[in-house]
Amino acid sequence: MADRVTLSEAEWKAKLEPFEYTVLREKATERAGTGEYDKFKPAEGYFSCRGCGNPLYSAQAKFDSGCGWPAFDRCYKGAIETHVDASYGMRRVEIVCAKCGGHQGHVFEGERFTETNERHCVNSASIKYVKGPPPSEAQAAGEEAVTKRKM
């Protein structure tokens, strides 16, 4: 991705609130049901990375999965990168912002909540709601399901 954001850890700590830093940079997870965007379902707008402002998800991609975290079934094309996360004795697919590498959460497949068959389980501390249309670059890229790509 062009315009990659690379800051030192000291710069990230100065830019982010302490808990945002812990989630985005140290891969922590907020407790289920505690995030500001868990039950928030706007009719318009988009969600961007709280670390760098990169548009990640449209409001239309958000759905209530009942898992206790904001859930999305697709992201803007090229907005998210995936990595295998083998922590805690299990295999999961971690999702990070493609622009700054900030930890967003994990993506799960096969639950049949939506047509894409994906649930991007995202920390509210990792994202920021923005009212209005996304930047034209994000709109032009469209949206995609991330697990359909090879990992």
Spatial separation of the C-alpha atoms in residues 21 and 103, rounded to whole Å? 10
Please tell me whether the overall predicted TM-score, pTM, comes out greater than 0.85 for this model: yes
The string of DSSP codes covering 36-60 is TTSS---SS-EEEETTT--EEEEGG
Please indicate, yes or no, if residue 4 is contained in any of the structural domains. no
Please, what is the end-to-end C-alpha distance for the chain in angstroms? 17
Q: Which residue range forms the structural domain that includes residue 99?
A: 9-148
Residue 56 — very low, low, confident or very high, per pLDDT cuts 50/70/90? Answer: very high
Please indicate, yes or no, if residue 2 is contained in any of the structural domains. no
Provide the CATH number for the domain around residue 60: 2.170.150.20
Q: Give the model confidence (pLDDT) of 19-50 as tens digits.
A: 999 999 999 999 999 999 999 999 999 999 99
67 is catalytic: no
The count of structural domains within the chain is 1
Spatial separation of the C-alpha atoms in residues 65 and 73, rounded to whole Å? 10
Please indicate, yes or no, if residue 49 is contained in any of the structural domains. yes
Residue 148 has a pLDDT of: 54
Question: What single letter denotes the amino acid at residue 76?
Answer: Y
Residue 135 has a pLDDT of: 80
Q: Which of 49, 52, 100, 121 is catalytic?
A: 121
Please indicate, yes or no, if residue 141 is contained in any of the structural domains. yes
Neighbours of 120 (CB within 10 A): 28
